[in-house]
Amino acid sequence: MPRNNGLWNWVVLVVTVGGYVPLVIGGLHHHSEINLAAYSLWAIAMAMAFGSAFYMKYDTWRLALGFFIGNVTMIILGLSVGGYTFNLGKSETLSLYTIVAALSIWGAIGTVTKKWNNRLLLFGAIASDVISFYPQLMQYLKPHERPTSMLLVGWTFWALGAAISFIFVEKFFTKLMMSKEEYMRTFDKPSKNIASILEESAFSFENFALITITMWVMAR
């Protein structure tokens, strides 16, 4: 059995980047909707997730790359059209500190030991991403106008991209159900470690869970 289905790899990228189309449309009509500070932080966090996952050969790098491309697109759009905002709220500030801490610890340990622990970058990116969902959840837990259909379409694309990555690209459930021998043979691993399987899919699971929860809060 091949490790990955090439079609699903492309689907993850296309669907995830496609989720930014409603944001691009909104940004073209209302430039102030582009918070350059937030998109810059997300781009850095996604670059960390992409680079670390790619280096460790975790298939979730494709999902991270899709988010990175989308965030960079929003940054370029904001700089091109002007009129963008640059707001660092409490959540964004904490997210920034998390990114700086992860990069600093990673760099310090790597410099001293000459061993670069990419798990620090991956989980730093995940922690920063989790923090970034807080203000949106708080906003929609209060009385609010119903989100536009375009916004919900974009978030649906992101949730779908994360689900496709989790199930079809990273093959999380397939890995769990495989025998030890079949798993080792198929994925060229020295052993079957449940913790490692969870780690490989932590980024996509985190995104699917938080995006789905946020959408439910939005639409209720």
Mean pLDDT, the chain, whole residue set: 92
* Average pLDDT value for residue range 171-182: 95
Task: Give pTM, 2 decimals.
Answer: 0.93
**187 belongs to a structural domain:** yes
**105 belongs to a structural domain:** yes
**76 belongs to a structural domain:** yes
Overall number of domains in the chain: 1
**81 belongs to a structural domain:** yes
**45 belongs to a structural domain:** yes
pLDDT attached to residue 2: 44
Range of the domain at 214: 6-219
* Average pLDDT value for residue range 121-140: 90
Tens digits of per-residue pLDDT, 3-17? 456 889 999 999 999
**106 belongs to a structural domain:** yes
* Average pLDDT value for residue range 130-149: 82
* Average pLDDT value for residue range 169-180: 95
* Average pLDDT value for residue range 22-34: 91
**57 belongs to a structural domain:** yes
**1 belongs to a structural domain:** no
Report the alpha-carbon distance of residue 214 to residue 19 in Å, rounded. 15
* Average pLDDT value for residue range 164-187: 95
